[in-house]
Structure 1
Amino acid sequence: MITLILIEALSSFEHVMIIAALPFISRAFGLASAGWVVTSFLLVQASSAAIGARLGDMYGRERVLAVILVLTTTGSLISAFGGSIHFVIVGRCLQGLSGANLALCYGIARQMVPAKRLPFWVGALTGGVTLAAAFGYILGGYLADLGSWRLIFWFAAGYGAIVLPLLLVTVPRLGNAPPMGGVDWLGGVLLPLGVAGILYAVTSSVTQGGRGPWIAGAGVAGVVLLLWWWGHEWRRPDPLIQVRLLTQRPVLIANLCFAIAALGIMQFPLVLIQYLQQPASSGAGLGLSATAAGWIKLPSNVGSLLAAMLAGWLCGRHGGRPVIQYGGLLAALSLGSFPFFHSNPWQIMAITIGGAAGMTTLLAAVPNVVLAHVQPERAGEATGLTMTVLRVFTAAGAQLVTLSLAASATPALAGGRAYPTEFGYTVILAGIALSGVLIVLVAQLGTGAARPRRT
């Protein structure tokens, strides 16, 4: 089981370490292009989670997990060696296949561990993800400060090369479920390609002034692919994502809150890391090292563990919908104060703790609302839908935020580079804070008490 915890931690490392080093990558390739390093990873994760879990059911979870480790390690090497942003993005797409790791690890744990001990190990797997995220910012920042952001990919490749033989040696060959239907490969491909096409068109229209038929063509193609995906998932008897669940109003409202959070308040860490590391001589930022920025982020990650437990208790007493509103309001108040209180690291640390607590409260409450309004036998489909919404809109939000930061940049004195302005940060952070207010209002549109079902 320790091996499974180490494997799942890799996926978390691959995400947060890159965010910690994103200012370094943006200096090499430009901020708008660097955003694709995050976006591509999350888009592939959105599809790989469901596809990987299904393949694990059919061919054996430990086998599929081993293949994913080989592919993600290969992706790390491609990004480490890549001389252009395109190679880095290709490598990140392969790394995004790790989105299936947690579901596969849960499945293996269920097969290996006695029922009485299963809740403990499921909690351990989840806790491992949180701790990896907490220390991933520090580790990623340290590696970037040490010499180059490429060291992060070398670390990920080495990590994968270590845990792969551990998996093969310590996890026994487990049986797989009898085949039931096929794998929705088409649904898994159409969704990320459609979103990527639209984001490419939006990004290029800003960075290139909207010129060229390829830009408009990419946008139109993205819309067509998404419409095709929706129709395909609606008609398929065993879809990758059960979109029919969105016909239930509470499920729709809860997922809409998730989408708003992913576009808004969940982008705060990306903006925060950029601001903390930006040279103060540019007129904005504190000029901290990437390692120091990671340490400022650490208390908020630890506090998120406590917030998650409190949110679960509140959902049990009051239902999920008011807890969604508590989370949105706390995030809005905390992050909305950033433009007024950011002159020293201690102020920023306090704001970050409040924002992370609100964000985690929301993340814990939305699944409770969804699960309270679907039949128990559809719980897996419902959570799959919710996590896909979260990842797709987080990917879109990351690209839009980095694009907004790049658009606000003006030539600065620090090293002759262009950096986002203080006004640009203020506008973006105001939008992020307003997303919390919007969540409070949208959640009010839900119907029913949204209390968890009792058995």
Structure 2
Amino acid sequence: MSDSASGTGIPAAGHTAGVHRPASGAVVAVLAFAGIVVALMQTLVVPLLPELPGLLHASASDTSWVITATLLAGAVATPVTGRLGDMYGKRRVLLLSLGLLVVGSLVCAFTSSLVPMVVGRALQGGATGVIPLGISIMRDELPAERLGSAMALMSSSLGIGGALGLPSAALIAQHADWHALFYTSAGLGVAAMALVLFLVPESPVRTPSRFDVPGAIGLSVGLVCLLLAISKGGDWGWASGTTLGLLAAAVVVLVGWGMFELRTSAPLVDLRTTARPQVLLTNIASVMAGFSLFAMSLVLPQLLQLPEETGYGLGRSMLVAGLCLAPSGLVMMAVSPLSARISAARGPRVSLMIGMAVVAVGYGLGLFLTHAVWQVVVVASVIGCGIALAYAAMPALIMGAVPLAETAAANGLNTLMRSIGTSSSSAVVGVILAHMTTTYHGAPLPSLSGFRVAFAVACGAAVAALFIAAFIPARHVRATGGGTAKVPAPAPADEPV
């Protein structure tokens, strides 16, 4: 006795007869914890960045690969793990992703050399798909009344983990051997795996198909060329042959990949579904939202740590700077249920627009409120509030427009779009702060004007996301006995409803 989920007789989500399913609250808590653990991994090495050349006995340019490797691996792994989750089981692939995090953490924990460290960080990046996989499991397993708030929390876990991870990592690095950071990451990964194994059921929703190996290779090559050019262009020179060659190769490979995907019977990414206005515009807005999120992480810690003698720096330690940003993570956690309620009442498009408007206001405040620690905390909290509203709305928009059997792949692509935004933010803000400098004791430091320009650019990205979101097709809302329910547009005849 099963409903057809994908035209193949696969049971619909949450309706496996005779099988005891864990409480939905436990499923949400475990998946959100796994997402936060993955986000913590991404900020793990931030306190070590100034010291990495000495710790790894390598140049600053070479040690930057510790960050770049994680970025590239995550970009490649996210869409691939999403598709594998749809085909072979989302919980199974989520456990595999967390396993990569644990192995990568242990590799980093047992080395003080550059190459093994880069390999370990690349393995850690392979866990980036945990968040979109978790959102897809929630769609399959949770009752409708719990789904909105649960997805909001899971989607916001990326920002929550990043904000809470910075002070935690700084505290460990300041009071223990730096390898303890990676032992901690491995321990958290093992805990997340155990909780998922015992408390999260495997989704019955599958997409029987063959895996698109050529599509995975083509997308991986295109993304690596694109993100490598974006992340390393500042070091190599934006007009250098290497950077321009990689950008040109990315265009050629991705265009060829798109043509192949449109012709294959079982594509890695269904581009026809991706081209629907609701999906396409949400993904474009996600790039802008990712840009806005990461700009805060680049600018505010530097402002807090620069010497007070500069006239605008606040002279705080890395630990204090991290603690100042931690409230933004708590705000994200508190606000994510509000986004779900707004989406239920007015539709997720409205939540996305409100969120990006709040982010724009936060960066606008940052143009003026940077003269005291409490002002920086306020700015970070306002931006965090907007990011939570926006990030929580994105999976609802995506899943309202894709078939049930493609949710993991579609959410993985949306997460990839945010990653492209964060990578672009790192490159753009890095260029701004590198070229708008002042001299302090003979050394160049980012100037106050540079920070303000970075805030203005991030504000512009948030306004652009707001403008794009305004064109996302609206979803009508009807009253129900328990509040409101969204009425999506009818699915085409050849797709599951």
TM-score by length of 1: 0.80
Cα distance between partner residues in 2 of 1:66 and 1:253: 31
Contact 1:321–1:450, Cα closer than 8 Å, also in 2 = no
Cα deviation digits, residues 323-367 of structure 1 (max 9, x gap): 322222211111122131111110111111111111111112333
Q: Report whether the alignment pairs 1:454 with 2:487.
A: yes
Within 5 Å, give how 1:228-243 maps onto structure 2.
228-243=256-271
Within 5 Å, give how 1:220-231 maps onto structure 2.
220-231=248-259
Contact 2:349–2:469, Cα closer than 8 Å, also in 1 = yes
1:74 to 87, 96, 103: 103
Cα deviation digits, residues 61-101 of structure 1 (max 9, x gap): 66655544443233224444565666544322210111233
| Equivalent residues, number | 451
SS in 1 for 2:258: helix
Cα–Cα, structure 1 residues 106 and 285, in superposed 2: closer, same or farther, change >3 Å? same
Q: Report whether the alignment pairs 1:420 with 2:446.
A: yes
Within 5 Å, give how 1:391-430 maps onto structure 2.
391-409=419-437, 412-413=440-441, 418-430=444-456
Cα distance between partner residues in 2 of 1:320 and 1:67: 31
Cα distance between partner residues in 2 of 1:283 and 1:218: 41
Q: Report whether the alignment pairs 1:339 with 2:367.
A: yes
Within 5 Å, give how 1:6-17 maps onto structure 2.
7-17=34-44
Q: Which residue identity is paired with 2:166?
A: Y
Contact 2:163–2:326, Cα closer than 8 Å, also in 1 = yes
Show the counterpart of 1:303: 331
Show the counterpart of 1:181: 209
Cα–Cα, structure 1 residues 120 and 255, in superposed 2: closer, same or farther, change >3 Å? closer
SS in 2 for 1:41: helix
Cα deviation digits, residues 395-417 of structure 1 (max 9, x gap): 3333443344344456532xx75
Of residues 377-386 and 436-445 in structure 1, the stretch that sits farther from structure 2 once superposed is: 377-386
Q: Which residue identity is paired with 1:308?
A: S
SS in 2 for 1:361: helix
Unmatched runs of 5 consecutive residues or more in structure 2: 1-25, 478-484, 489-497
Q: Report whether the alignment pairs 1:431 with 2:457.
A: yes
Cα–Cα, structure 1 residues 25 and 312, in superposed 2: closer, same or farther, change >3 Å? farther
Q: Which residue identity is paired with 1:259?
A: V
Cα deviation digits, residues 176-231 of structure 1 (max 9, x gap): 88882122344344334423323444555543446764444333222222223322
Show the counterpart of 1:101: 130
Cα distance between partner residues in 2 of 1:254 and 1:60: 26
Cα–Cα, structure 1 residues 170 and 377, in superposed 2: closer, same or farther, change >3 Å? closer
Of residues 426-435 and 136-145 in structure 1, the stretch that sits farther from structure 2 once superposed is: 136-145
Show the counterpart of 2:272: 244
Contact 1:278–1:285, Cα closer than 8 Å, also in 2 = yes
Q: Report whether the alignment pairs 1:51 with 2:80.
A: yes
Q: Which residue identity is paired with 1:444?
A: A
Report how far residue 142 of structure 1 moved.
0.8
Q: Report whether the alignment pairs 1:269 with 2:302.
A: no
SS in 2 for 1:342: coil
What's the RMSD between the two structures over aligned residues? 4.1
Report how far residue 54 of structure 1 moved.
4.5
Cα distance between partner residues in 2 of 1:228 and 1:284: 49
Show the counterpart of 2:319: 291
Show the counterpart of 1:354: 382
Q: Report whether the alignment pairs 1:141 with 2:146.
A: no
Cα distance between partner residues in 1 of 2:226 and 2:411: 25
- Identity value in percent: 25
Contact 2:72–2:228, Cα closer than 8 Å, also in 1 = no
Q: Which residue identity is paired with 1:17?
A: L
More helix by share: 1
Within 5 Å, give how 1:20-35 maps onto structure 2.
21-22=48-49, 25=52
Contact 1:145–1:289, Cα closer than 8 Å, also in 2 = no
Cα distance between partner residues in 1 of 2:236 and 2:142: 58
Q: Which residue identity is paired with 2:245?
A: G
1:390 to 418, 435, 447: 418
Contact 1:44–1:192, Cα closer than 8 Å, also in 2 = no
Q: Which residue identity is paired with 1:238?
A: A
Cα–Cα, structure 1 residues 445 and 6, in superposed 2: closer, same or farther, change >3 Å? closer
SS in 2 for 1:453: strand
Contact 2:80–2:409, Cα closer than 8 Å, also in 1 = no
Report how far residue 36 of structure 1 moved.
5.2
Cα–Cα, structure 1 residues 427 and 82, in superposed 2: closer, same or farther, change >3 Å? farther
SS in 1 for 2:487: coil
Cα–Cα, structure 1 residues 86 and 339, in superposed 2: closer, same or farther, change >3 Å? farther
Q: Which residue identity is paired with 2:280?
A: L
Of residues 77-86 and 428-437 in structure 1, the stretch that sits farther from structure 2 once superposed is: 77-86
Report how far residue 308 of structure 1 moved.
1.8
Cα–Cα, structure 1 residues 200 and 67, in superposed 2: closer, same or farther, change >3 Å? closer
Cα distance between partner residues in 2 of 1:97 and 1:163: 15
Contact 2:97–2:126, Cα closer than 8 Å, also in 1 = yes
Q: Report whether the alignment pairs 1:313 with 2:341.
A: yes
Cα distance between partner residues in 1 of 2:473 and 2:202: 43
Contact 1:300–1:356, Cα closer than 8 Å, also in 2 = yes
1:324 to 352, 363, 371: 352
